[in-house]
Structure 1
Amino acid sequence: MSGEPGRGLVPTRASRENMDNIKKVAITREGQQTQFKELDQNRPLAAIIQDICAEWKLAVPDNYSLQFSEPNRQMYITDANRHEIQNGNVLQLTESPMQKAQTIHEQLKSGQKKLEYEALQQLATLALDHSFAVEFISKGGHNLIIKLLTDGKYQGDPLAKTLISFMALMDHGIVSWDVLEPDFIKRVADCVNCVNPNLDSQCLQSALEIMESIVLHSSGKQYLVDQMITPVNIIPHLQSQKSGIQKNAIALINALFIRAENEKKKKIAESLHSKSMRTVILSHVIRGVHNVGNEMAHQLYVLQVLMMNLHEERMKLPVDPHDQHVLKDIEELRRIAFDVDGDPNINTVRKSQNSAKDHRKLGFQNQSHPAADFTKTPPGLLALDVMLYFARNHGENYVKVVLENSSRADEHDCPFVQASIFLTKILCDTLKIGEPPTEEGQTFYPMFFCHDKPFEEFFCTSIQLLNKTWREMRATSEDFQKVLGVVKEQITRALEIHPSTFDALRNRLYQLTYSEIIKIWEMERQSKEEWESQAKPIIELREQITPEIVDLIKQQRFNQMIEGTRFQQYNNRGKMKGKYWYWRLSPNYKSFYYGECSDSSSPLMEQLPNKLSVVDIKMLQVGKDCPHIKENKGRKSNITSNLAFSIVPDTSDAMCFVASNEQEFSVWTDGINALLEKPMTSEQKTQDLEMLLCMEIKIRLLETEGITIPTEAPPIPQPPSNFNFAYNV
């Protein structure tokens, strides 16, 4: 062999890692010539800054720090985030967080308006940085901001910058919200209660956010906010043209709702159910000029859950069989159905004196003590409440349902009371009444904001559906559970279109007849079971084409990752409020590009500043193995662990995600596993593989239509006694 020693040798893993730790960057400083550096990530930051200062002949390197230069990411570089430095980044040498905090603190106390405004402009951006916030707060900067706000020194844009800065400082969790005094809270509340159309929108948006945080995070200050601000004061802000103001207004209402006592919750609900409030929410928020973004959808979902959960108390309350109010309500049900005299909703007059017989016709199990039917929880007394609402507010339909069932033969009789009890429980389960809202939830139904009694109206529509379905199925008492199953399916599928009104819900339910549900089930069964044959030829064919289908699924996952997905940002402490990032896979499958974005934007790959090479990914973690799930174990957190996953690079901390749904989770976990040459493990992959296999096999077997495929290959016949065959042309 000839040539130089070592030429052509493949670099060792150690040498590749050393190369990866070198980042080629540019260092800038105003008035200085740009330095181009090969930044060694293994060196201490202090040593790197010392070298940079030496080249520019700057004394006291401890007074300087490196900072990202992007307009939307002017954060100080620390040991915690230095892994975010990428080749080609432009960094800037600037005052250290301690020096900058001291400078801004002095400018705010200078008494010179120009200096103060410049300081506020810088503070509004720098307060987002944790390193700066620690230094600024250690110098009492937060107390200075509180004093400036309490004294009412600023108006307009300076006031907005002050509120933004305060909120950003408090978001770091360094200072307790309990330090705030009533005068400060009143000052911020005045910004919320102000109906001046010329009020700075940033000022109002930040004030709403501060009020929400005081309510949620202080241990005893929420009552002050409750005294100063009511849902009625917030109505004008829901009519704003700014989606951020609308979102923060709904969030504040939710916060007041969450922290209120039961009686106060009912009063808030009454305000929300008023026609004026419902009209504003529907016209300006749900059907307004802005599309409902992820954060607004979450707030509307939370509001819906909180309103529905007002029924939890009645749902979990068993009846006292001797309660005179309950007995009176049951008697009213009987009277409206069988002994109506002069009811304006009913055209005919009927009278009945046989209570026990009437109780049987109504569908009570315990006809001598009908109140005992409501002892089981859930749904407890809630079932009686909604039945009484149906009877009082939809009297003609109520009588029609009861009399139609009581006039049938006994075996075809649908017991109205028992059906109502089971149906109420189904509706409670469907809407998850009694469960707190989750951090990821975004499902809300506009129709629930169209009526002052949404759950009761939902029941009235559903009980009429049950009666219709019972009739279509020609059901008997033995089919009771089967009918309930069909009705639950009808309701679930009708809700999938997110009906805007109860009329839209009724129209959809009218389309979902029993026969239609049977067709849907049959189609789903066929798609699931068709070609699930155990015949040996089919099994062999499946095995033969499975690798092709798996490659097709991989390609589909890669294509979806190339299109990109917007995720809520998480770190080891949990969800980062109001922060999103967008991730895309490069078309050559070699790198991920990512960067921060708004809750509604979808930046192109060229607009994403950060890059992560696939070869730099050490592993993929899912579920409870993820850092943001482990770190929050034992804390009060609503992170859905089965949608969580983390990308663990070789040289930096894990990047944490929570998918918005199972499909999104499957796409990204399958795709990353495929890039890492590991098996795809999601349930969605199994379902896709089965579906595509069935389709491919069906296509390949089209020519065998009508031919029965044997489970085993036919036996090979015995050879003939001789091979003297003759063939005459």
Structure 2
Amino acid sequence: MPVPKGTTSNISCLTSSTPGDVCTKFGVELGVPGYEGAAPHFLVLSREKKLIVAIEKLMETWGLPESSSSYALQFENGFFVTEGNRVSGVENGSVLRLTHSPALVVSQVIALLEENRGYSRLEELAPDPTFIYELLKVKGEAHLFRLILEDKTESSSLPSLLNSLFIIMTKDRSWWENNVETLFSRDILLKIHSHLITSTHEPLLIPSFKILITLIPLHYSLSFEIISIPDVLRYLKTDHTPIQRLSIAMINALFKNGSAADRRTIKKEMENQKARQLIVDHIINNPSKHTKEMNHELYLLQTLLLNQLKERMLTPVASQDQSALEKIKELRKRAFNTQSLDTPNTQPRTHRYNLDYKKLGFKNDVDPTQDFRETPPGTLALDLMYSFCNHHVDQYRKLILENSCRGDEHDCPFASASIELVKLIVGIVRIGEEPLLDQDRYYPMFFTHDNPLEEFFSICILHLNKTWQEMRATTEDFSKVMDVTREQINISLANVPSTLEEFKRRLKSYGEVQKAWAEEAKLRGEREGKAVDELKKIILPDIHDLVRRQRLNYICEGTQFPKYKEKSGRYVYVKLSPNHKTLCYGDWNEDGSTPPIEKLESKIQVSELKDLIFASSSQFSNSNNSTSSLSSATSRSKNRDSLEQLSFSIYTENGKSLDLVAPSQMSFDYWTDAINALLGRPLTSAEARRDTDKILSMEIKLKLLDIEGLVIPEEEPEIPPSPTDYDFEFQA
């Protein structure tokens, strides 16, 4: 086709007469196939003018046929320019391209797919939300499903087809969530899953894994029925790190979304396939596999496996629980089989049993089940005590006899200490808590044993007993011993031990902990004298102001908050205006992009702010004036406790509120700090305290550098008396 007229480079100014009109200056190249060779065009476009005005001007300049609805502008990355993204995307100096409209491009792609072609073109366009919208509007996804089922696609093109489907699913997730059960039939899932069974081709496996992982929470029952756990776990042996990570991610998704019975089935299957050993041999022992993404999946798996104990942890032992009674009897029997069972019956058996339970350290020697009524640790404490006595018989018996036969006040009460230790352990390793979204620190030692928590407890209870003896503690020192034990465990875990044996070796003695505490106290004393306290009072206001300004700058950048309402978009974007006078918010579902403040149409004036309320407070749950239904949505969620920890409401003077659920703990702390700052209140989050303490400590160190080695007196030195005369001044 010949090059159209008007091929010389020229300039068009499309502005308005409005005072203060904002214009954008950018270049446009002609990218319509068949019209190569046209000179670029320079546009000055007012923000008040619609894009269609610019397109019509370009069509006139280049002499293009058809109507303006057949053309659109594209960014350099291939995404279509829309009225929604032009303000944030089109900057002065940008170079755009005039091409066919999204609707026309979609029809062209579908035509290519009908001929079993165009897979790379589809994959290239799939990340663009505008293209996805047009594709779904004409039910283009049906063509993708047909191609997957017909199995006529060449093996070299199938990865592009599946990857395009995955990208489209993730870019418009809310649409798929509402239509998943009607779109994804059993046949389609079976077809995609078949690639995990028959293929070893990484480019094909990766999108297959990703599609199935995305579908698990949306279509769980069918996914759980179709996905073969052994076929997933065998990929742990591969050398390809992305495939290994995705296999663990799939197990995590099944674990997280399954019922208690399903989780037990998955755990049993993992044990049968020796998944733990595969993870250790092929991932943990290979440093090249330790990517941030892999570590996060291992952290999730560790958390989900440990959370299998949550039910036991939150279940108190009932007085008539026969299984629990048998375990308690076994604790007594293994400890006192010679003293209690073989002793002549000179006193009532019940009385002898009570004495034995008292020696074991139970508070209630008449009915020991009462000691396990508190939750946590509930039944879990009894389970771990029983495991210790069952798998470490000699060490258990030695521990009991050493403490029960001395008859002095320095006996360590095994049962009471164990129950308190289990309560301590579940807090440290976060049993029962939802996984953190941004955490990638896990403990490899928990993958090195078939029953890691049982073995972990056994090591800790033996070390607790050793610490008790080193401290020559009595029952009055119980809380002190537990404080030392907590410190010992935390210090050892801080080194991220690879095995339980390494954890055991790194446990500090009481003397080492005491020495570390003494040095810390000495250092703290040097920094907390009267003079240093006065210095802190001078420095602190500036630090508080610095942290406050940082928080306000953070919310000026804005945050994308997930929604938890059934009939709405996925996200709401909230940001503070640069002048700190207005909170702007609105729906925004484009991942990874920041909306211009003009696009956030809902506004709250800072001058109208009244209060900040957290989800944990009764005010939050009892409020009737809230403009959103977070409370009811949260109660429907499986992650209610986790959501409540990240939920807060911003109230205005007129009684309305903006209810938000932060995407992470850091975001929650920063936003609540910033709102408190706008309300003129102190910053109360743990993150604010950490930042303040860190900056204050650094400032104090810098201030004290010049007097290092000098002793700072507690009292101000006395001012010497005035001289008798000032003749020396004149003599000088």
Post-superposition shift, 1:538? 7.5
CA deviations 1:397-442 (Å, max 9, x no partner) are 2112212222334311111011111111111111222222232232
Distance of 1:379 and 1:266 partners within structure 2? 21
Aligned to 2:165: 166
Name the SS for the 1:140 alignment partner. coil
Aligned to 1:530: 526
Superposed counterparts of 1:334-353, under 5 Å: 334-339=332-337
Distance of 1:281 and 1:224 partners within structure 2? 27
Please point out which of 68, 75, 80 is paired with 2:75: 68
Query: Do the aligned partners of residues 520 and 79 (structure 1) sit closer, same or farther apart at CA in structure 2, a change above 3 Å counting?
Result: farther
Post-superposition shift, 1:251? 1.5
Name the SS for the 2:436 alignment partner. coil
Post-superposition shift, 1:609? 13
Aligned to 2:693: 687
Please point out which of 97, 100, 112 is paired with 1:95: 100
Does residue 178 in structure 1 map to residue 188 in structure 2? Answer: no
Query: Do the aligned partners of residues 665 and 325 (structure 1) sit closer, same or farther apart at CA in structure 2, a change above 3 Å counting?
Result: closer
Post-superposition shift, 1:267? 2.3
CA RMSD, Structure 1 to Structure 2 (Å): 4.4
Distance of 1:542 and 1:16 partners within structure 2? 51
Post-superposition shift, 1:292? 2.6
Aligned to 1:604: none
In the superposition, the TM-score normalised over structure 1's length comes to: 0.74
Aligned to 2:410: 412
Distance of 1:127 and 1:29 partners within structure 2? 19
CA contact (8 A) 1:339 1:351 kept: yes
Post-superposition shift, 1:241? 3.0
Distance of 1:455 and 1:244 partners within structure 2? 29
Distance of 2:406 and 2:30 partners within structure 1? 88
CA contact (8 A) 1:237 1:249 kept: yes
Aligned to 2:217: 216
Distance of 2:519 and 2:527 partners within structure 1? 14
Distance of 1:726 and 1:281 partners within structure 2? 84
Distance of 1:726 and 1:26 partners within structure 2? 81
Post-superposition shift, 1:479? 0.6
Aligned to 1:22: 24
CA deviations 1:213-249 (Å, max 9, x no partner) are 222112xxx3333233232111222233333222221
Aligned to 2:427: 429
Name the SS for the 1:451 alignment partner. coil
CA contact (8 A) 2:209 2:250 kept: yes
Post-superposition shift, 1:550? 10
Superposed counterparts of 1:120-519, under 5 Å: 120-171=119-170, 172=172, 173-175=174-176, 176-179=179-182, 180-194=184-198, 196-197=199-200, 199=201, 201-218=202-219, 222-274=220-272, 276-288=274-286, 290-339=288-337, 354-509=352-507, 512-519=508-515
Gap regions ≥5 residues in structure 1: 1-13, 342-348, 576-607, 613-618, 645-655, 674-678
Post-superposition shift, 1:446? 1.0
CA contact (8 A) 2:24 2:90 kept: no
> 323-332 or 389-398: which moved more?
323-332
CA contact (8 A) 2:562 2:662 kept: no
Distance of 2:230 and 2:310 partners within structure 1? 25
Aligned to 1:584: none
Query: Do the aligned partners of residues 624 and 136 (structure 1) sit closer, same or farther apart at CA in structure 2, a change above 3 Å counting?
Result: farther
Distance of 1:631 and 1:88 partners within structure 2? 42
Name the SS for the 1:397 alignment partner. helix
Please point out which of 688, 694, 710 is paired with 2:715: 710
Distance of 1:202 and 1:250 partners within structure 2? 18
CA contact (8 A) 1:659 1:665 kept: no
Name the SS for the 2:99 alignment partner. strand
Superposed counterparts of 1:102-117, under 5 Å: 102-109=107-114, 112=115, 116-117=116-117
In the superposition, the TM-score normalised over structure 2's length comes to: 0.74
Gap regions ≥5 residues in structure 2: 1-16, 345-351, 565-591, 597-603, 614-626, 649-659, 678-682
Name the SS for the 2:43 alignment partner. strand
Distance of 1:727 and 1:94 partners within structure 2? 91
Query: Do the aligned partners of residues 49 and 293 (structure 1) sit closer, same or farther apart at CA in structure 2, a change above 3 Å counting?
Result: farther
Superposed counterparts of 1:558-707, under 5 Å: 571-573=560-562, 682-702=688-708, 705-706=710-711
Name the SS for the 1:329 alignment partner. helix
Post-superposition shift, 1:487? 0.8
Distance of 1:107 and 1:202 partners within structure 2? 22
CA deviations 1:83-110 (Å, max 9, x no partner) are 123344332222211111111112222x
CA contact (8 A) 1:528 1:691 kept: no
> 356-365 or 79-88: which moved more?
79-88
Report the identity percentage.
29
Post-superposition shift, 1:687? 1.5
Post-superposition shift, 1:16? 12
Distance of 1:25 and 1:726 partners within structure 2? 78
Distance of 2:714 and 2:368 partners within structure 1? 60
Does residue 34 in structure 1 map to residue 40 in structure 2? Answer: yes
The letter for the 2-side match of 1:106 is: A
